[in-house]
Every structure is written in structure tokens, then in C-alpha cells.
């Protein structure tokens, strides 16, 4: 397996693990797999997860907070290029006037603030092992 394939597999594993940890996400994963003929498109999945989080932050605040914590943990500890995938796939999918803003913390908040121009400070991205 070359480096690109290994990175793609690490990103897929991260997405699948999120779907295992968060009961609201398996239907999103299933739809992605159906739409992509059985191959997980990690960036489309990430975008759909962010849409779910933004739509459910009020009614399922605890679940959304746990999801955001898992994304921050992935930024800090993710394998291979998972931190980059989270910053781009999830971070850049957060809408500019997101209802998630009061709940964003840590590195994910830093990426959001940089992406939308709130901060000029480029967040440090760590590459996984």
C-alpha cells in the first residue's frame, strides 16, 4: 500500500470510528456509501456530519459537544494525515455564520477562526504518525 492509500484508509477509519461512537452518524455514513457505490468519500461524509451538527446543536447539544471534542482529539492525536483531513474536511465545512460557534473549542475553533478571517494566526497543524 502506497502512502496515498494508507492516508486515505486512515481517514476512512476515522470516519467509521465516528459513526460507531455517535449513533446519529451511521445513517449519514450509509447514505454516503450508497451515493458513492460503496466507497466512502470522506470529505462528503465530513461535510454531511457538519451539516448534521449545525442542524442539531440546540436539540442534541450534548451529542454535538461530544462530536466536536472527538474532532479536536483527532486534530491532536490522529494517525497519518487525519489532522489535516479534519482541518479541511470538517473545519472548512463549518458555515461562516454557524450555530456551532459558541461550542467550538481548541484547535477546531482555531481553524474555523482562521478560515473565516476572524484570526490572522495560522493554526499549527500536526501530522500524525
For residue 65, what pLDDT band results from cuts at 50, 70 and 90?
A: very high
What one-character-per-residue DSSP string does 82-97 give? HHHHIIIIIGGGS-TT
State pLDDT tens for residues 90-125.
999 999 999 999 999 999 999 999 999 999 988 876
Q: Give Cα separations from 100 to 6, 37, 52, 53, 127 (angstroms).
A: 31, 31, 11, 8, 26
DSSP 101: G
Of residues 80 and 12, the one with the higher pLDDT is 12
Q: Is 122 among the domain residues? A: no
Mean pLDDT of 68-83: 94
On whether residue 10 sits in a domain, the answer given is: yes
What band does 52 get if pLDDT is binned at 50, 70 and 90?
A: very high
Q: Residue 62's pLDDT is what? A: 97
Answer whether residue 128 is part of any domain: no
126 has pLDDT over 90: no
Count: domains in the chain? 1
**pLDDT of 128 higher than 90:** no
* pLDDT for 1 beyond 80: no
Mean pLDDT of the 64-83 span: 95
Q: Give residue 62's domain range.
A: 3-115
The Cα 31–Cα 104 span in angstroms is: 26
Judge whether residue 129 has pLDDT over 60.
no
Asked if 92 contacts 108 with a C-beta cutoff of 8 angstroms, the reply is no
Domain membership flag for residue 124:
no
Alpha-carbon 17 to chain mean position? 12
Amino acid at each position: 500500500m502506497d502512502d496515498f492509500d494508507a492516508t486515505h484508509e486512515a481517514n476512512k477509519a476515522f470516519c467509521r470510528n465516528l459513526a460507531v461512537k455517535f449513533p446519529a452518524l451511521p445513517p449519514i455514513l450509509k447514505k454516503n456509501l450508497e451515493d458513492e457505490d460503496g466507497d466512502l468519500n470522506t470529505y462528503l461524509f465530513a461535510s454531511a456530519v457538519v451539516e448534521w451538527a449545525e442542524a442539531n446543536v440546540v436539540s442534541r447539544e450534548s451529542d454535538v459537544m461530544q462530536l466536536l471534542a472527538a474532532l479536536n482529539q483527532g486534530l491532536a492525536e490522529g494517525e497519518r494525515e487525519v489532522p489535516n483531513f479534519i482541518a479541511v474536511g470538517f473545519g472548512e465545512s463549518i458555515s461562516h455564520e454557524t450555530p456551532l460557534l459558541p461550542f467550538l473549542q481548541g484547535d477546531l475553533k482555531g481553524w474555523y477562526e482562521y478560515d473565516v478571517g476572524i484570526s490572522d494566526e495560522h493554526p499549527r497543524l500536526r501530522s500524525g504518525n
